[in-house]
Amino acid sequence: MRNQLRPLFDQVVIKELEPDRVRASGLVVPPGTHEPPPQHGIVLAVGPGLDWWGGAGIAMPVKPGDHVVFPASAGAWVEVDEERLLVCRVGELLGVLEQVRDCPRCAEIPLEQGDTCPVCGRTGPTASAIG
Protein backbone atom coordinates (compact mmCIF):
# COMPACT_ATOMS: atom_id res chain seq x y z
CA MET A 1 0.00 0.00 0.00
CA ARG A 2 1.37 3.40 -1.04
CA ASN A 3 1.11 6.49 1.18
CA GLN A 4 0.43 10.00 -0.06
CA LEU A 5 1.22 13.15 1.90
CA ARG A 6 -1.70 15.61 1.97
CA PRO A 7 -0.51 19.11 2.94
CA LEU A 8 -2.48 21.30 5.34
CA PHE A 9 -3.30 25.01 5.11
CA ASP A 10 -0.83 26.88 2.85
CA GLN A 11 1.70 24.06 2.65
CA VAL A 12 2.92 22.44 -0.59
CA VAL A 13 4.64 19.08 -1.16
CA ILE A 14 7.52 19.18 -3.64
CA LYS A 15 9.57 16.38 -5.15
CA GLU A 16 13.15 17.37 -5.76
CA LEU A 17 14.45 17.25 -9.31
CA GLU A 18 17.96 16.07 -9.98
CA PRO A 19 20.28 19.01 -10.60
CA ASP A 20 21.50 19.38 -14.16
CA ARG A 21 25.02 17.99 -14.17
CA VAL A 22 25.88 19.40 -17.59
CA ARG A 23 26.64 23.12 -17.51
CA ALA A 24 26.01 25.46 -20.45
CA SER A 25 29.74 25.32 -21.23
CA GLY A 26 29.53 21.54 -21.67
CA LEU A 27 31.35 20.79 -18.40
CA VAL A 28 29.98 17.67 -16.67
CA VAL A 29 29.93 18.06 -12.90
CA PRO A 30 30.30 14.70 -11.10
CA PRO A 31 28.11 13.99 -8.08
CA GLY A 32 29.86 14.71 -4.81
CA THR A 33 29.36 15.39 -1.16
CA HIS A 34 29.90 19.15 -1.41
CA GLU A 35 26.84 19.86 -3.54
CA PRO A 36 24.27 22.43 -2.46
CA PRO A 37 20.82 21.03 -1.71
CA PRO A 38 18.37 20.95 -4.62
CA GLN A 39 16.62 24.22 -5.25
CA HIS A 40 14.01 23.26 -7.81
CA GLY A 41 11.34 20.61 -7.94
CA ILE A 42 7.87 19.65 -9.06
CA VAL A 43 4.76 20.29 -6.97
CA LEU A 44 3.02 17.02 -6.03
CA ALA A 45 0.27 18.32 -3.74
CA VAL A 46 -1.12 21.66 -2.59
CA GLY A 47 -2.98 22.47 0.62
CA PRO A 48 -6.32 24.30 0.58
CA GLY A 49 -4.77 27.66 1.49
CA LEU A 50 -5.54 29.96 4.40
CA ASP A 51 -8.96 31.39 5.02
CA TRP A 52 -8.98 32.98 8.47
CA TRP A 53 -11.54 35.69 7.59
CA GLY A 54 -14.13 33.74 5.59
CA GLY A 55 -13.58 34.38 1.90
CA ALA A 56 -10.62 36.74 2.20
CA GLY A 57 -7.99 34.01 2.34
CA ILE A 58 -4.87 33.38 0.32
CA ALA A 59 -5.48 31.68 -3.03
CA MET A 60 -2.80 29.11 -3.77
CA PRO A 61 -0.64 30.39 -6.67
CA VAL A 62 0.72 26.93 -7.57
CA LYS A 63 -0.89 23.68 -8.63
CA PRO A 64 0.29 20.08 -8.84
CA GLY A 65 2.67 19.65 -11.76
CA ASP A 66 4.21 23.14 -11.55
CA HIS A 67 8.01 23.33 -11.58
CA VAL A 68 9.06 25.64 -8.74
CA VAL A 69 12.23 27.25 -7.41
CA PHE A 70 12.86 27.49 -3.66
CA PRO A 71 15.73 28.54 -1.38
CA ALA A 72 17.94 25.89 0.21
CA SER A 73 16.54 26.84 3.63
CA ALA A 74 12.88 26.29 2.67
CA GLY A 75 10.61 24.00 4.67
CA ALA A 76 11.39 20.55 5.99
CA TRP A 77 12.55 17.44 4.14
CA VAL A 78 10.53 14.32 4.94
CA GLU A 79 10.65 10.77 3.64
CA VAL A 80 7.46 9.05 2.51
CA ASP A 81 7.68 5.54 1.07
CA GLU A 82 11.45 5.94 0.54
CA GLU A 83 10.89 9.14 -1.45
CA ARG A 84 12.44 12.40 -0.26
CA LEU A 85 9.92 15.26 -0.29
CA LEU A 86 10.03 18.92 0.70
CA VAL A 87 7.10 20.35 2.65
CA CYS A 88 7.10 24.15 2.81
CA ARG A 89 4.79 27.13 2.98
CA VAL A 90 3.75 28.56 -0.37
CA GLY A 91 5.24 31.89 0.70
CA GLU A 92 8.71 30.33 0.83
CA LEU A 93 8.66 29.54 -2.90
CA LEU A 94 10.68 31.92 -5.05
CA GLY A 95 8.78 31.35 -8.27
CA VAL A 96 7.33 29.03 -10.89
CA LEU A 97 9.44 27.99 -13.88
CA GLU A 98 7.53 28.49 -17.11
CA GLN A 99 8.54 27.79 -20.68
CA VAL A 100 8.95 30.84 -22.87
CA ARG A 101 7.09 30.26 -26.12
CA ASP A 102 7.80 33.54 -27.92
CA CYS A 103 11.28 34.80 -27.21
CA PRO A 104 11.58 38.53 -27.96
CA ARG A 105 15.09 38.02 -29.33
CA CYS A 106 14.93 34.93 -31.54
CA ALA A 107 11.21 34.69 -32.43
CA GLU A 108 11.66 36.67 -35.65
CA ILE A 109 15.23 35.59 -36.50
CA PRO A 110 15.98 32.01 -37.65
CA LEU A 111 18.92 30.48 -35.78
CA GLU A 112 21.80 29.02 -37.76
CA GLN A 113 23.14 25.51 -37.18
CA GLY A 114 24.86 25.35 -33.78
CA ASP A 115 23.63 28.79 -32.65
CA THR A 116 21.90 29.18 -29.27
CA CYS A 117 19.71 32.07 -28.19
CA PRO A 118 21.19 33.63 -25.02
CA VAL A 119 17.71 34.63 -23.80
CA CYS A 120 15.60 31.46 -24.09
CA GLY A 121 18.21 28.76 -24.82
CA ARG A 122 16.60 27.63 -28.09
CA THR A 123 19.16 26.06 -30.41
CA GLY A 124 19.45 26.11 -34.17
CA PRO A 125 18.88 22.99 -36.29
CA THR A 126 21.25 20.06 -36.01
CA ALA A 127 23.17 18.69 -38.98
CA SER A 128 20.84 15.66 -39.20
CA ALA A 129 17.74 17.92 -39.33
CA ILE A 130 19.14 20.06 -42.12
CA GLY A 131 19.71 17.59 -44.80
pLDDT, one tens digit per residue, over 42-66 is 999 999 887 766 666 667 899 999 9
The whole-angstrom distance between residue 49's C-alpha and the CA centroid of its chain comes to 20
Report, in this order, helix, strand and coil percent for the chain, each rounded to 5.
5, 30, 65
User: What are the boundaries of each domain within the chain?
Assistant: 1-98, 101-131
| pLDDT for residue 86 | 94
* Residue 92 confidence (pLDDT): 94
Taking 50 as the pLDDT cut, the residues of the chain under it are 129-131
DSSP for 88-129 reads: EEGGG--EEE---SS-TTTSSSPPPTT-B-TTT--B---HHH
pLDDT for the residue numbered 131: 47
Tell me the pTM.
0.65
In this prediction, residue 55 carries a pLDDT of 65
Instruction: Provide the CATH number for the domain formed by 1-98 in this structure.
Output: 2.30.33.40
The predicted pLDDT at position 24 comes to: 63
